[in-house]
Copies of this chain bind each other. A is one copy, B any other.
Amino acid sequence: MLSRSQLIEQIKQKRTFLCIGLDTDIDKIPAFLKEYPDPVFEFNKRIIDATRDLCIAYKPNAAFYEARGVKGLLSLIATQQYLPKDCLNIIDAKRGDIGNTSDNYARAFFDQQNSGMDFDAITVTPYMGNDSVTPYLKYDDKWVIILALTSSAGSKDFQYLNTGEGFLYETVIKKANTWAGADRLMFVVGATKSTEFTDIRKHAPDNFLLVPGVGAQGGSLEDVCKYGMTKDCGLIVNSSRGIIYASNGEDFAEAARAEALKLQQQMQQELEKAGVI
C-alpha cells in the first residue's frame, strides 16, 4: 500500500516514475520457461527481480491472465503476492459496473482473504458514473485510476465528443474529481496526445496521471513531462512490451533491466529538469 506521500517519496528516492506493465502472454515468453510449473509467474518473478529498483509501480493486465482460465488466475495471484510492497501494485482491469457489482470487483482485487489478491489500485472505466467508482473508495488507502483519455484509435469515437463544456474526457475528469481527492484518484491519459496535458492539468492540477503508450505505442516522454509534470511529479509512465519483451532469449530479464534503466535515466533527467528532485 502506498499513500500519496509515500508514492512521491518513492519517486524521489528511486529517481523514476516508471510503471512496468506485466502484459505477460504465455506465447511470447522465452521457450525455456515452459519447463517451470508456472511459466508466466516465473517470467514475471525474474522481470520483477531485475527491475524493482528502477520503477515505482507494476501493472499486470488482467486480460492476459484471465485468457488462461484457472492457470492464469493462479499466475496472477502468485504475481501480486510477489510484487514489492514499496511499488504501487496496480491491476489493469478496467472494470465498471453498478454498486453491488463493483463491491464484488473490489473484493476480487483488493481483498486478499476473499480472492488471494491485494492490489493497491485498479483501473476503472467511467461510463456508468459514480456508482461504478465509489465502491473501491471504501477501502482506505486504495486508489482508483479512471480512464479519461486513451491512446488507441477508438478513443476518438466517444472521448472527444463535445459535451458543451469541453470534450467528454474533460467532463469525466471534472466530475470524478468531485467524488474523491487527488490522494485517492488518478486518471489514465494516453501519451500520444501530449499537448493535451495542458488542458488536462487545468481540471486535474494535482492528480497523478497514469500514462500508457510511451515506448511501443510511440509517445514522447519529454513531451509528456513538459506538459504533464507537477511539483510532485504527478506522472506514472507505463511501458509494457518495450521492457518485458526486450529479448526472447535466456537473457530476457537482463534485457528488460537495460530497457528499464534507459527509461529510469531519462526520467531522472526530467525530474531534475522540473526541480522535483
Contact = CB atoms under 8 A, between A and B. Distances in A.
A212 B125 CA distance: 20
A219 to B, nearest CB: 14
Contacts of A133: 154
A227 interface: no
Nearest to A148: B127
A270 to B, nearest CB: 26
Interface stretch (A65-73, A197-205, A248-256): A65-73
A117 B66 CA distance: 11
Number of copies: 2
Interface residues of A, number: 60
B175 A105 contact: no
A150 interface: yes
B172 A63 contact: no
Contacts of A155: 128-129
A207 to B, nearest CB: 18
Interface in A8-47: 23, 25
Interface of A: 23, 25, 61, 63-64, 66-70, 72-74, 77, 94-105, 107-108, 111, 114-117, 125-133, 147, 150, 152-159, 161-164, 168, 171-172, 175
18 contacts: A61-B101, A63-B105, A67-B108, A68-B115, A70-B73, A94-B95, A94-B128, A98-B154, A127-B159, A128-B150, A129-B152, A129-B157, A129-B158, A130-B154, A161-B163, A161-B168, A162-B164, A168-B168
